[in-house]
């Protein structure tokens, strides 16, 4: 099995290899053909190909000399005004090497930059347009100040489709000689929530245990199996409070989950169309509202076990009304 991260080993190297972002790819390829780009702002959920697209753009613009003409910084680590004034400014003012007349500065996770750093960056983007172009990558573009947004061409990355994520996982498993089952692929999709990076990392972690099935996936990500969560909820709704509470303690101890982890899985199970928990729509609404209240209390510092026990007790009361007939 490969010793390097599969997310890097199987990262696309060309724009044509990027999936589910056809409009973004078409616009970027036009920039490559013209050998000219504006400042760019890539926005979208994690793991949808934003950083990959920026690197592919660099590969295709500069060819073998891309490392000489690209500065890549993670703004969540180097996000202060000093980094912008010193390192970024010094790089932006130097002349590019090769046919393309400008360098490319990639600022990953730019939404974590301080306000002062963003104000300094705005001025640098104006002054050194002739020698540098900026590509800002953000999960939450609303955290980028308006003056920077107005200077950038905006690219919105869409969540990846389930069938394409699973197809890519199958390909990687085949290349690495890993046995993966259908329920294992479904479990990876469930825990990754459309994040390709997390999906590939989960596949690699589960592959270390041998056969990749649903049990292996939930074991490596530290989550309870949805079936077990549904069983706990069903016990509470049927009025078997003590048994439901025993199941809750078992989940928390066996999987090492916090109360917030549990309530998030409960919410996911309530809303999942594939859930084993079969309850009417109006009851789902009531449970979702209750789960939100319990999660808020725990985040504010309330005791996890007491709050979750209260949640199960409330479910027992709802279940008494639900099954009174």
pLDDT in tens, 224-262: 888 889 999 999 999 899 999 999 998 888 888 889 989
| Residue 145 contacts residue 84 (beta carbons within 8 Å) | no
pLDDT of residue 113: 86
Quick: pLDDT tens for 192-223.
888 899 999 999 999 988 899 988 898 888 88
Whether residue 13 is contained in a domain is answered as: no
Number of domains composing the chain: 3
Encoded tokens for 293? 């209240």
Strand partners, 70: 104
Residue 34 predicted with pLDDT over 60: yes
Task: Give the residue numbers spanning the domain of 300.
Answer: 226-322
pTM of the model: 0.81
* Neighbour count for residue 211 (Cβ, 10 Å): 13
Whether residue 305 is contained in a domain is answered as: yes
CATH number where 124 lies: 3.40.50.300
Does 84 lie in the same domain as 30? yes
Does 306 lie in the same domain as 246? yes
In the structure, what pLDDT confidence band is assigned to residue 323 with cuts at 50, 70 and 90? confident
Last residue of a domain, one of 192, 221, 250: 221
Whether residue 15 is contained in a domain is answered as: no
Strand ranges of the sheet holding 70-74, from the earlier edge strand across to the other edge:
70-74, 103-108, 132-138, 39-43, 152-156
pLDDT of residue 281: 86
Mean pLDDT of the chain: 88
CATH number where 177 lies: 1.10.8.60
| Residue 32 contacts residue 133 (beta carbons within 8 Å) | no
Does 185 lie in the same domain as 126? no
Distance CA 183, CA 119 (A): 49
Q: What percentage of residues in the chain have a pLDDT greater than 70?
A: 97
Whether residue 188 is contained in a domain is answered as: yes
Does 198 lie in the same domain as 113? no
In the structure, what pLDDT confidence band is assigned to residue 97 with cuts at 50, 70 and 90? confident
Distance CA 133, CA 80 (A): 20
Residue 26 predicted with pLDDT over 90: yes
Question: Can you tell me whether residue 267 is helix, strand or coil?
Answer: helix
Does 26 lie in the same domain as 151? yes
Distance CA 157, CA 154 (A): 10
Show contacts of 318-322: CB within 8 Å, 24+ apart. 318/237, 318/283, 318/286, 318/287, 319/236, 319/237, 319/238, 319/239, 320/239, 322/237, 322/279, 322/280, 322/283
Does 252 lie in the same domain as 182? no
Residues 102-120 have a mean pLDDT of 89
Does 142 lie in the same domain as 253? no
CATH number where 263 lies: 1.20.272.10
Residue 4 predicted with pLDDT over 80: no
pLDDT of residue 9: 85
């Amino acid at each position: 099995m490969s010793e390097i991260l599969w997310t890097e080993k199987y990262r696309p190297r060309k724009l044509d290899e990027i999936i589910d972002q056809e409009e973004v790819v078409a616009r970027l390829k036009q920039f490559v053909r013209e050998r000219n780009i504006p400042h760019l702002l890539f926005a979208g959920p994690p793991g949808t190909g934003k950083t990959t697209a920026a690197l592919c753009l660099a590969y295709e613009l500069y060819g073998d000399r891309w490392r000489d003409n690209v500065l890549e910084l993670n703004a969540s680590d180097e996000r202060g005004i000093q980094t912008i004034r010193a390192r970024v400014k010094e790089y932006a003012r130097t002349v590019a090497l090769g046919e393309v007349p400008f360098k490319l500065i990639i600022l990953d996770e730019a939404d974590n930059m301080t306000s002062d750093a963003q104000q300094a960056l705005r001025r640098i983007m104006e002054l050194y347009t002739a020698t540098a172009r900026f590509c800002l990558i953000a999960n939450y573009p609303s955290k980028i100040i308006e003056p920077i947004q107005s200077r950038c061409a905006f690219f919105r990355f869409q969540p990846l489709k389930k069938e394409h994520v699973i197809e890519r996982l199958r390909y990687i498993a085949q290349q690495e000689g890993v046995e993966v089952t259908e329920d294992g692929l479904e479990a990876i999709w469930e825990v990754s929530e459309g994040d390709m990076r997390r999906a590939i990392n989960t596949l690699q972690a589960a592959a270390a245990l041998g056969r990749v099935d649903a049990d292996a996936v939930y074991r490596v990500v530290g989550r309870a199996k949805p079936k077990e969560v549904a069983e706990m909820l069903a016990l509470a709704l049927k009025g078997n409070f003590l048994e439901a509470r025993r199941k809750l303690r078992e989940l928390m101890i066996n999987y090492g989950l916090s109360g917030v982890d549990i309530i998030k899985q409960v919410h996911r199970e309530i809303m999942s169309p594939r859930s084993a928990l079969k309850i009417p729509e109006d009851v789902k609404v009531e449970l979702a509202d209750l789960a939100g209240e319990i999660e808020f209390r725990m985040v504010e510092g309330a005791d996890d076990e007491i709050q979750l026990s209260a949640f199960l007790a409330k479910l027992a009361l709802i279940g008494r009304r639900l099954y009174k007939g």
